[in-house]
Structure 1
Amino acid sequence: MLTFPPGEDYGFRLRGPDPTLERYSKALDFYREHDDVLADNNSRIIALKPEEPGTLATCKSVTRFITALIVDELEAGMRFCFESGKGAIALVESPNNGVLSDFLELKVQYLGQR
C-alpha cells in the first residue's frame, strides 16, 4: 500500500512488484499533486468499470484513458489500471474515500508487462 502525504508532490515509478513512494522528480510515472494523481512520462491511467475484472488482460484491452484521478472524487473500492511508459501494468485500488486534507492510500498490485 502506498500512502501519499496530503498536499505534497510524491509519486512512484512502476517497474515491478514493489513500487516505493518517492519525492517528485521528472522520472516518476505517477505522482500526487495536491488534489490530483497524475500520469507522467508516457504513463497512463485506465478507468475500469466495477464489473470488469482487474486482470492483466483487461488492463491491456481497455482504452478508457484518463489524465488524472481527482482525490476528492475517489470512493472506497474504485479500481484503475496504471501503465508506465515502459509497459509495466498494475491494478490500483482506492481503499478509502478521497479527502484532500488526508493522506491518500492506494493499493498497488503489479500485474506484469504489456
Structure 2
Amino acid sequence: MGEDYGFRLRGPNPTLERSSPVLDFYRESDDVIAQNDSRIVALKPEEPGTLATCKSVTRFITALNVDELEAGMRFCFESGKGAIALVEVPRNGERSDFLDLAVQYLGKR
C-alpha cells in the first residue's frame, strides 16, 4: 500500500484505491489510518487470528505507525459497517515506499 492509497473493507476482495473520504483505511505518510468509524486492534502473538478473536478484543486504535511495524505482526481491521479482516505484515516483507500487507476477509460482526 503506497502513500495516499487505501481500501474499503466490504467483502473478500478489498482493492487498493486512491485516498478518498469513503475509504475505511488509508496510508498517509508514515501512518495507516482508520476512518469512517473503522478501527484496528493489534493482536498479541498468542491470540489466534480468527473471527471470534477479532469480535472479542477491544484494544482499539485508529492508526498504525509504519516505522513500528515488524514482519509477522497481525491486526484485526473492522470497517464501520462491521466487515472484519485479519491483516498481517508478511514475514518476508520489506519496508520501502510501499507497505506489503496480507488481508484475509473473515466475515461480519
Query: Normalising by the residue count of structure 2, what TM-score does the alignment of the two structures yield?
Result: 0.94
Distance 1:67 1:81 in 2: 12
Does 2:78 correspond to 1:83? yes
1:59 CA displacement: 0.1
Distance 1:67 1:85 in 2: 12
2:101 corresponds in structure 1 to 106
Does 2:47 correspond to 1:31? no
Q: Aligned residues, how many?
A: 107
1:102 CA displacement: 2.5
Please point out which of 4, 7, 27 is paired with 1:12.
Answer: 7
1:66 CA displacement: 1.2
Q: Deviations over 1:53-108 (max 9, x none)?
A: 000000000001112110010000000000000000000001125x3x43101100
What CA RMSD, in Å, does the superposition of the two structures yield over aligned residues? Answer: 1.0
Query: Normalising by the residue count of structure 1, what TM-score does the alignment of the two structures yield?
Result: 0.90
Matched AA of 2:12:
P
Matched AA of 1:20:
T
Percent identity between the two aligned chains = 82
* TM alignment of 1:39-58, pairs within 5 A: 39-58=34-53
Distance 2:97 2:5 in 1: 14
Distance 1:76 1:61 in 2: 24
Distance 2:54 2:100 in 1: 21
Distance 2:48 2:13 in 1: 22
